[in-house]
Amino acid sequence: MILLLENFRRINRDMALKLLREELEKLGKDLSVNLTNLGIDKHGWGYVELSGSDSDVLTEIIRRKFGIATTDLAKLERGDVVRGVVANSTVGYGIYVDICLGSSNQTDALYPLHAMRSQLADGIKVSARQICRRYCLQEDIPIEIRVNHLDVVSRKVDVELSDRQVSYFKDWIRFPFDRVVLIGCSRDAVEQAVDLSGLRRDIAAIESISLTVHVLICKLGTDAPGVIPRMGPHLRGVSAQAFQPRTHLTEPAQ
């Protein structure tokens, strides 16, 4: 069984299976391969079993596009780069990231506050909550991380963002475009909501960072906080967060 690093916990199971099947069928369109078992585990991760002469080819395509989970902590190594989703951003001393380390004894990796400050706040002593709010790091948003430290006995894993993930967030700061992060819907639903809300002229692009998480890139002069209530009626149950590059993180006065 292949356990994909693609999480569907924010949408209903039927929609999740539909999205996963459509994407895998598209990836394997010209291959001799069958999807013999497709499902979503209790933590929201998608899985599939493959058969056919091109199974290895599709497995490698899946690995490159989604990543394949290393469910055994003992097989994880320092320096490994994997995908995960934010599991808890409210603890104060960092962020817990679910990187699919087994279903029976779940272990979430810790992205500690000192690493958050170093990578996302230029070393400024701001809170984890401020950094999370700044970069829309809420529960279930996918991020790519690198393993810094692990202890198999105590089942503790410390991570930091990968270089590619840091660069991605730095681009949010560098370019003067507001963004809206949407969690818990398909790309088609986002496209339809943009049209129904009359926002097509206000949105420069729609970027999908997973099958169920998408980023609207606003055109200059369009404010992300104003976009959200216009789309809300067309995206019921979807989490929406605004990013504005002109806001800044500042250290509290002593």
Confidence check: pLDDT of 190 > 60 = yes
Whether residue 32 is contained in a domain is answered as yes
Position 145: which residue type? I
pLDDT per residue as tens digits for the range 192-250: 999 999 999 999 999 999 999 999 999 999 999 999 999 999 999 999 999 999 887 77
In total, how many domains does the chain have?
Answer: 3
Q: Which of 5, 143, 146, 141 is nearest to 67 (CA)?
A: 5
Which residues, at least 6 apart from 226, have a Cβ–Cβ distance to it below 8 Å?
A: none
Whether residue 34 is contained in a domain is answered as yes
Give the CATH number for residue 198. Answer: 3.30.70.1150
Contact between residue 245 and residue 172 where contact means Cβ atoms under 8 Å apart = yes
Q: Whole-model pTM? A: 0.91
Give the CATH number for residue 82. Answer: 2.40.50.140
Which of 45, 65, 85 is at the close of a domain?
65
Q: What are phi and psi of 195, to 5 degrees?
A: -70, -45
pLDDT per residue as tens digits for the range 50-95: 999 999 999 999 999 999 988 788 888 999 999 999 999 888 899 9
Whether residue 51 is contained in a domain is answered as yes
Q: Domain range holding 23?
A: 2-65
Confidence check: pLDDT of 152 > 60 = yes
Which of 116, 146, 170 is at the close of a domain?
170
**Are 45 and 80 in a shared domain?**
no
Whether residue 252 is contained in a domain is answered as no
Query: Measuring CA to CA, how many Å separate 10 from each of 170, 185, 211, 224?
Result: 26, 8, 11, 22
Structure tokens that stand for 79 in this block: 């320096």
**What is the overall mean pLDDT for the chain?**
92
Whether residue 91 is contained in a domain is answered as yes
